[in-house]
Structure 1
C-alpha cells in the first residue's frame, strides 16, 4: 500500500545519500593522499579507510569488561581433508585471489609469477585503483607490462571468453579509465615507443570497441571520467593509434 511505497522511497533515498557520501569521502581521500605524496600502499590504505571515523579512547568501563578475555585464544584451525572424489582446487581458482600490491616490485613479481593467462591479468588489474597508477609506476611502466595489459584488454573486449565475460558497457568504461590513467604515467612516450608490434593493432581494436560501446550511450561523463567521443579520441591519440 501507500505506507509500503513510502518505506521503499525512504530506503532508496537513504541508499543514494549513503552512496554519494561514500563517493565524496573516497575522492577527498584520493586528493589528500596525492597532496601528501604518499606511496602506493599508503594511498590504498587512505582510500580504503575513507569512510572510517576516528576511534575514541577506550574508557575504563569498557577496558574492565574486556580484561577477562585478554588471555583468550581461539582454538587451532585444522583444515578438513577433502573426501575422495572431491574436486581439488585448481590453479585458476588459486590465481583468482589477488591482493593490491604494496609497491612496484610487488606488482611486477605478482604479474610475472601469477598472471599467466589473460584472465589472471584482468583479475589482478581489477584489484588495482587505476586512478593511483601514476603513484604505483612512479618512474615508468615497462613496455612488456603494457603489452600484457593490452593483450588482456583485447581478449576481454574483442575476443570475449567465458572467464572474461561481464557487463559490456561497464568493462569498456573500466578499460577506458585504465588506459586513460596509463597514458598519464611518467615517461609514457618511451613506454609506447618500445611496445611490441602487435600492441598497436590491438590498441586500435580496443579503442574501436570503447568508442562504440561508451560514446554511443550519449553520456558525456562517468563520475570524473570524460566518456565523450572527443575525449576517447584524445586518449587514443596518446597511444598513437
Structure 2
C-alpha cells in the first residue's frame, strides 16, 4: 500500500507576492502599450519627415514635462531625440550661393514632390524664383510630364515674372517651354485667373524685350520659339 504525503497548507496557499508583481507588470505593460500607441498617432499627425524621427517620438513617449524645480545637472543624454539637429551639426557647412537652393540630389523628381517643396520650403517669390532656376526647364519638363497641379502654373508664372532678370532670360524661356510640354497643358492655361493671365502676358513682354538686346542670329531663333510659345499660352490667336 503506497503512502502519499498530504499537501500542507503552505503548499496550497497562493503566492500573493508573486501575483502582485505579475499584476503590476501587466498594468505597466498595458500603460506602455497605450502610451506608445498615442505617440505613434501623434507622430503621424505631425507629419514627421523620417522613420528615425518617428521612432524618437515613440521612444520619448514616457518622458514628462520638466517641473520648475527639476535639476538637470550631471545628467547625460545619450538618446538623440532631435535627430535633425544632430545631422545639421555633423554635416559639412554649405557654401553660400545668395539663395536657399536645394542640393541637386534633393531636387523634386515628380509633380507631387515639387508641389510639396514649393509650399513647404519656398513661400516667398524670391525663393520660388531661385528654386525654379535651380531645377531648370529640362528637368521641369520631366517633372510635369503627366500634368501640372491645379493652381500651380499661375504661381510659377508669377514667380518668374516678379523675379525676372535679363541675365536669366534664356533659363526662364527654357522653363516656360518645358512647362508647355505637360500633358493637358491647355487645360492648365484655361484655369488661369485674369490676373494670372496678365502676369503671363507681362512675363512674355519681358522676355521679348530681353531677346531684342541679343545678337541678331540668336535673337531670330529665340523670337521664333517665343512666338510659338505665345500661341501655346494662348496669348495670341493661332
TM-score (norm: length of structure 1): 0.52
Q: Please name the residue that 1:234 is paired with.
A: 228
CA RMSD of aligned residues (A): 2.9
Q: 2:181 aligns with which of 180, 184, 196?
A: 184
**Using the alignment, how far apart are the partners of 2:173 and 2:188 within structure 1?**
18
Matches within 5 A, 1:1-241: 79=89, 96-98=100-102, 99-157=106-164, 168-221=165-218, 226-227=221-222, 229-241=223-235
Unaligned runs of 5+ in 1: 1-75, 81-92, 158-167
- Residues 147 and 195, structure 1, Cα contact 8 Å, conserved in 2: yes
**Greater RCO (Cα-Cα under 8 Å, separation 6 or more):** 1
> Residue 213 of structure 2 aligns to a residue in which SS?
helix
Range moving further from structure 2, 176-185 or 95-104:
95-104
Q: Which has the larger radius of gyration?
A: 2
Between the aligned partners of 2:155 and 2:112, the Cα distance in structure 1 is 17
Task: Structure 2: give runs of 5+ residues left out of the alignment.
Answer: 1-85, 91-96
Q: Is the 8 A contact 1:169 1:213 kept in 2?
A: yes
State the SS of the aligned residue for 1:211: helix
